[in-house]
Chain A
């Protein structure tokens, strides 16, 4: 296990909160691809030492995500115990709903309008 608490990549910043929830923020309006999904999953594993942890995703300013990226998140969902997608505009809401309803991840996943509600829900998945 590593002591890293925050990891930044070309298109994202990911950090661990004191309550055990991991957060990720995408660089605004930049489309993300399979390579980005792989990098984010590796970063998640590094932050948590490989243990599944709850993840809060700030999607409001995120750009569109490719199908390959979505499928990679579904394929590697063992790195998360639950996912909260915080949305804030029509684009992010559509992408979040698309991921939930079309890509159909099996882990608990919900869409939220604000961080606090998302965190309250996610804390139930901290182990």
Chain B
């Protein structure tokens, strides 16, 4: 049957409507480039076709905007997560790795070089005059001392070494490639000398020595806990021996003692 309304037949209308239905289905399947044909008549079917096309454009724009925002938020989240991770593993004052990061690092490197040469050495450093600086010039001066001491320690390290702050004025250095006990002691001595140079703070100049305990990874010193404990014990022995000294941990006494500063 012919329908002469607006010059079209019912089969023409059906075909135009089917075309629009196809486009709606395409859009529902997120095929956003689908477009219905808009004829020259400007009639209701053309209006529907143009409306579907316009809605499709809006849908595509909204979808793209949503995807853009999701990507943006995901990137922000990744940055925030990375920053949190960094903060969780860093000492807030000096920026050095903290105790947690130090232990992770040690477990990693100890496992990879166990029994090999070059090996691993741990230096345990304590600033001898930190409390005096804190008491005399205030906590800000003490903080400044810690930051500058950290910088000086790091400046003496090689590419395989790391330094961490593990307590108030206590630092641990892990030397990742030492050839011998003497090599480790030489590095400890170098760091000790560097730390003994004068510090400036707010118009004041002061100096401090440091006590250093050194432990070399060996069959009887396995794992991060044992190595750090040995270096810590050696450091206390250095303290007992006097200021500005370096002691190499020995399972059997006597330990090797060097004077770091003069």
Binding site for B on A (CB under 8 A): 29, 31, 60-61, 63-64, 66-67, 89-95, 98, 102
Question: Closest CB of chain A to B262's CB: distance in Å?
Answer: 75
Instruction: State in angstroms the CA–CA spacing of A61 and B39 once bound together.
Output: 11
Task: Select the residue from B40, B47, B58 with max chain A CB neighbours within 10 A.
Answer: B47
Question: Closest CB of chain A to B129's CB: distance in Å?
Answer: 66
Instruction: State in angstroms the CA–CA spacing of A61 and B50 once bound together.
Output: 14
Instruction: State in angstroms the CA–CA spacing of A100 and B211 once bound together.
Output: 78
Binding site for A on B (CB under 8 A): 38, 40-44, 46-48, 50-51, 53-54, 57-58, 61
Q: 28 A-B pairs, CB-CB below 8 angstroms? A: A29-B42, A60-B42, A61-B42, A64-B38, A64-B50, A64-B54, A66-B57, A67-B57, A67-B58, A89-B42, A89-B43, A90-B42, A90-B43, A90-B47, A91-B38, A91-B42, A91-B43, A91-B47, A91-B50, A92-B42, A94-B47, A94-B48, A94-B50, A94-B51, A95-B50, A98-B51, A98-B54, A102-B54
- Give the interface SS of chain B, mostly helix, strand, loop or mixed: helix
Instruction: State in angstroms the CA–CA spacing of A66 and B47 once bound together.
Output: 14
A90 touches B61 (CB 8 A): no
**Nearest residue, chain B, Cβ from A95:** B50
Instruction: State in angstroms the CA–CA spacing of A89 and B44 once bound together.
Output: 8
**Nearest residue, chain B, Cβ from A28:** B40
Q: Could you say which residues of chain A place their CB within 8 Å of the CB of B46?
A: 90-91
Task: Select the residue from A60, A64, A92 with max chain B CB neighbours within 10 A.
Answer: A64
Instruction: State in angstroms the CA–CA spacing of A102 and B62 once bound together.
Output: 12
Q: Could you say which residues of chain B place their CB within 8 Å of the CB of A66?
A: 57
Q: Could you say which residues of chain A place their CB within 8 Å of the CB of B41?
A: 91
A64 touches B42 (CB 8 A): no
B43 touches A95 (CB 8 A): no
Question: Closest CB of chain A to B206's CB: distance in Å?
Answer: 64
**Nearest residue, chain B, Cβ from A62:** B42
Question: Closest CB of chain A to B84's CB: distance in Å?
Answer: 39
Task: Select the residue from B42, B43, B51 with max chain A CB neighbours within 10 A.
Answer: B42
Say yes or no: A90-B44 contact (C-beta < 8 A), given A64-B50, A67-B57. Answer: yes
Q: Could you say which residues of chain B place their CB within 8 Å of the CB of A94?
A: 47-48, 50-51
